[in-house]
């Protein structure tokens, strides 16, 4: 695997240390878990869906938590006490897992649903009005009112 040096970016940017730390962790992680498999898709301009293959898990076996821009999905199957059969081959993985997703600012989880062995987690990015770009009108010199300072305006008259 090719090693990337992000040091030049640290020297020429301000306030992006968290982003670069995340990139460092992403690049440096060789043992990235591959279970359970998942998809991330864009379903709208500001809407996303994470779909995780969780065959064999029920709603009570799964937990979803959002904390400080991190989405954590945990799965732990409860042992079946009344096993009426003996499994000769287990090709469907049912091991415990924990998968984390880093969420961008203003991304909120709006819902989750389990259907046909797939867990769908819906997300939306809702930027507050104060953070949205706004258009600033440029006034010309002729239409711009000159500020009047109380004491000086009376002396000039």
Domains along the chain? 1-32 (no CATH), 33-79+89-129 (2.60.40.790)
Q: Render pLDDT for 63-87 as a digit per residue (tens, 0 to 9).
A: 999 998 889 999 998 766 566 778 8
Helix/strand/coil percent split, the chain, to 5: 20, 30, 50
Alpha-carbon torsion 124, 128, 129, 133, what sign?
negative
Question: In the chain, what is the straight-line distance between the N-terminal and C-terminal CA atoms, in Å?
Answer: 78
Is residue 38 very low, low, confident or very high in pLDDT (cuts 50, 70, 90)? Answer: very high
- Residue 63, classed as helix, strand or coil, is strand
pTM above the 0.85 mark? no
Give the residue, 10 or 137, on which the prediction is more confident.
137
Residue 25 φ/ψ, nearest 5 degrees: -65, -40
pLDDT band at 139 (very low <50, low <70, confident <90, very high): confident
The region of weakest confidence among 22-36, 63-77, 100-114 is: 22-36
């Amino acid at each position: 695997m090719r090693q990337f040096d992000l040091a030049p970016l640290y020297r020429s940017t301000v306030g992006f240390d968290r982003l670069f730390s995340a990139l460092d962790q992403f690049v440096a992680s060789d043992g990235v878990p591959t279970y359970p498999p998942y998809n991330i898709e864009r379903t709208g301009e500001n809407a996303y869906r994470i779909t995780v293959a969780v065959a064999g898990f029920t709603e009570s076996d799964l937990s979803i938590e959002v904390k400080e821009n991190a989405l954590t999905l945990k799965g732990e199957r409860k042992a079946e006490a009344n096993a009426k059969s003996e499994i000769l081959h287990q090709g469907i993985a049912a091991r415990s897992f924990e998968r984390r997703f880093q969420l961008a600012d203003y991304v909120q989880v709006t819902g989750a649903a389990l259907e046909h062995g797939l867990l769908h987690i819906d997300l939306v990015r809702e930027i507050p009005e104060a953070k949205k770009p706004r258009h600033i009108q440029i006034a010309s010199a002729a239409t711009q009112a000159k500020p009047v300072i109380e004491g000086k305006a009376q002396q000039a008259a």
